[in-house]
A = this chain, B = another copy of it.
Amino acid sequence: MRIAEVAKTYDITPDTLRYYERIGLLPHIQRNASGVREYSDSDCARIEFIKCMRGANVSIEALQAYISLLDGGDDTIAERKAILEQQRDIAQQRIAEMQAGLDRLNYKIDNYDALMSKVR
């Protein structure tokens, strides 16, 4: 898969994909004879994972830490799990905060509804 197709598949710009590679979130992607990136299935799997994690607000920095541990083999399992747990806790908190905001929005919208049907 070339960059444009990957970009379309995961809804990430080519610029961002190159950026991720540059900063080490992706391994060095294989190139064809003319220097064009050919993304393998495992590259794509990682991209999908990164996209999902970024969606959960996981920072680039945390992903770098996690991914660099992947190369360390089984010795890094505990450390990797610790990162995931920490990110899970952060995500949970963030979701709760967002939910509180959403509830507030709904409450205010209901008030506007009431107000509008009254005034009319």
| Partner-B contacts on A (CB < 8 A) | 49, 52-53, 55-58, 74, 77-78, 80-81, 84-85, 87-88, 91-92, 94-95, 97-102, 104-106, 108-109, 112-113, 115-116, 119
- What CA separation (Å) do A81 and B112 show in the bound complex? 6
Query: Can you name the residue of chain B whose Cβ is closest to the Cβ of A74?
Result: B119
Task: Check B116 against A77 for contact (C-beta < 8 Å).
Answer: yes
If over half of A's interface residues share one DSSP class (helix, strand or loop), that class is named, otherwise mixed; here it is: helix
Task: Check A98 against B95 for contact (C-beta < 8 Å).
Answer: yes
Copies, count: 2
Q: A108 — which chain B residues lie within 8 A by C-beta?
A: 84
Q: A95 — which chain B residues lie within 8 A by C-beta?
A: 95, 98-99, 102
Q: A119 — which chain B residues lie within 8 A by C-beta?
A: 74, 77
Q: A81 — which chain B residues lie within 8 A by C-beta?
A: 109, 112-113, 116
Task: Check A53 against B84 for contact (C-beta < 8 Å).
Answer: no
Task: Check B84 against A105 for contact (C-beta < 8 Å).
Answer: yes
